[in-house]
Amino acid sequence: MYLDKNAVDNPDEIKELERYKDAGGGGTKSKPRVEDDNWRAKTDDGELTLADLKRRQRDQLNEEFEESQQKKFKIVNFTSEDSHLVGEKKLFSFYCAICGEHCVASEVDCFKLPRRRTDRAIAMEEAVHFHKKYANFGEKILLRRQNGVERQYRFYCRQCNQPLGYRPNPQSETSKFTYFFDKAIVSDQSA
């Protein structure tokens, strides 16, 4: 007998195929399985069958598996000794030239950085050199230059309020350079 309707040769086979479809065997949807109480084993109250024990054990294993998946975490203790850094970088400290307050920590010696031609300020590229400024950020100042107007967002020493430098953008925004005024910072804390 053929299963393809177009490949059936005679009318008897067509009738048999339609009868098979009407009976529910040829449909694409399968009927849901309904549990029949006639197939259950008859037990007294409190008695368990082997199927009940297996079902209970399977449920317990599933619960244990789900609990282990939710509470799974890994504790990692990481110290500087575990670090795989090739070389350690030295940090340089710079202080206010007037009061000696610590104002900049940097991975590069600021006095070896290039300087601006206009005001001889030390130019530090923020994206290239790691640094931390310990200063109070102040107002925006506009300066007239040959090519137009320059914006400076200045920062000052926390203790004596001496101007230490400036940025072209405010503290909250990223900037390409930070500029330190000439002779505003020193490398020794002997004020």
The string of pLDDT tens digits covering residues 6-55 is 555 677 777 777 777 776 654 455 555 556 666 666 667 777 788 888 89
Asked if the model's pLDDT at residue 117 lies above 50, the reply is: yes
- Which residues, 6 or more positions from 182, have their beta carbon under 8 angstroms from its beta carbon? 115, 119, 120, 121, 122
pLDDT of residue 30: 52
Sheet holding 135-145, edge to edge: 122-125, 177-180, 163-167, 148-157, 135-145
Asked if the model's pLDDT at residue 86 lies above 70, the reply is: no
Q: What does the pLDDT average to over 92-106?
A: 93
pLDDT of residue 3: 55
- For the entire predicted model, the pTM comes to 0.53
pLDDT band at 97 (very low <50, low <70, confident <90, very high): very high
**8 Å CB contact between 185 and 164:** yes
Asked if the model's pLDDT at residue 180 lies above 80, the reply is: yes
- Which residues, 6 or more positions from 164, have their beta carbon under 8 angstroms from its beta carbon? 96, 103, 104, 133, 135, 155, 156, 157, 180, 181, 184, 185
Please give the backbone phi and psi of residue 35, each rounded to the nearest 5 degrees, phi first: -75, 135
Q: What does the pLDDT average to over 170-191?
A: 87
User: By mean pLDDT, which of 12-21, 105-114, 171-180 is the weakest?
Assistant: 12-21
> Which tens digit of pLDDT belongs to each residue from 126-172?
889 889 999 999 889 999 988 899 999 999 999 999 999 999 999 88
pLDDT band at 191 (very low <50, low <70, confident <90, very high): very low
